[in-house]
Amino acid sequence: MADGTSVKPAFDVVAVREQFPILKRQINGRPLVYLDNAASAQKPRAVIDRLVSVMENGYSNVHRGLHTLSNEATEAFEQAREIVARFLNAESAEQIVWTKGGTEAINLVANGIGLDIREGDEIIVTEMEHHSNIVPWHMLRERKGAVLRWAPILDDGSLDMEAFKGLLNARTKMVSVTHMSNVLGTINPVAEITRLAHAAGARVLVDGCQGAVHSIPDVQAIGCDYYVITGHKLFGPTGIGALYGTMEALEALPPYQGGGEMIETVEKERITYARPPHRFEAGTPPILEAIGLGTALEWLSGFDPAAIHAHEQALYDRAAQRLGELDWVRILGTAEGKGSVLAFTVDGAHAHDVAQIMDRYGVAVRAGLHCAEPLAKRLGVTSSTRASFALYNTLEEADAFADALIKARNFFV
């Protein structure tokens, strides 16, 4: 997807939907309208069939096996790593570390740099971060005396870049920022953030769990030290994610866990570690999941990313226009160029109740704090409902969402 050189066919949402068996399901006697994609996306037939095929015909543990099944599994497993590298526009597949998800990837980095953190060293995050990009840094604050600094957001949900610049100083060791907010849909200027942070002598981690889905994640153009993705939001399986790092940044990290595969030699008196990426992949890896993610990204690469973006933007615009006509709805996040995530509150109603009533009409949305409690406090809300769109959603579903919300509102007035 990163090279984008091949000609892609015109985007046909009807044909896309045919590749997702679950979208034919009915919920409470109504067609499923699945708008919980920011939490986890559905899986295309290509991924489902590949997982079944590997389990039926080609499964074995990877690496070091000398028999046919092991060789086949190893080849598919490492090919998936190469696919992720191409997707992120990494220079080498050796810069891709398999993890069980975005959360583990961030923890891997936080634990690694934690050895070099001294009391008073500063880590900058933003007010829009997911808990996965907050808690690991808080743990360093607790253990090592690090100082957590918070880059604020403006009222429209965009990052206050002037305030961010003011936080950078000689004590800043890490800047960890989301590429795209899972609540606001804000897409941050991560290349500019990286440039400023590097000028201050800090490393940069970009949480791409949302951004990699709704934009082109080019790690070389961004220039960050680390970039994190998770498979289940990219139409792949759960239990798989990846950490990209520059080779210099990865080699500076100590191993995260100990066991098989991540070592070079083991003796009674000493051990030596493997080079990245295997240094960080102790034990039997998520073999099926990695192959499934590779298949998902190959499938995704068959579409023009600009066409996907335009389609998703049309869905968001339709839903936002409908909700903008309702004086009892507050939309959270209106930053220019935001992605297709629509979080909102309903006057006089709790988000959980709104979501449960919408489910009666077959509409699946998320409700609560969305693992972003500091952001909720900044916005002055105790919960919100969130609709998040994917390439397989339709304008008719955007209207069905708005219609279901209006019906849900009638329960509270």
**Catalytic residue selected from 371, 381, 395, 406:** 371
CB-based contacts of 351, cutoff 8 Å, min separation 6: 345, 367, 368, 383, 384, 385
User: What residue type is 238 in one-letter code?
Assistant: T
Residue with tokens 């990163």: 2
CB-based contacts of 89, cutoff 8 Å, min separation 6: 2, 3, 217, 218, 219, 220, 221
Kindly report the three-state secondary structure assignment for every residue of 300-364. Answer: HCCCCHHHHHHHHHHHHHHHHHHHHCCCCEEEECCCCCCCCEEEEEECCECHHHHHHHHHCCCEE
Encoding tokens for residue 243? 């950490």
Residue with tokens 């991540």: 262
| 338 close to 184: Cβ distance less than 8 angstroms | yes
Catalytic (active site) residue 209: no
Encoding tokens for residue 400? 């069905």
Q: Which candidate, 251, 216, 261, 253, places its Cα nearest to that of 106? A: 253
Which active-site residues does the annotation give? 371
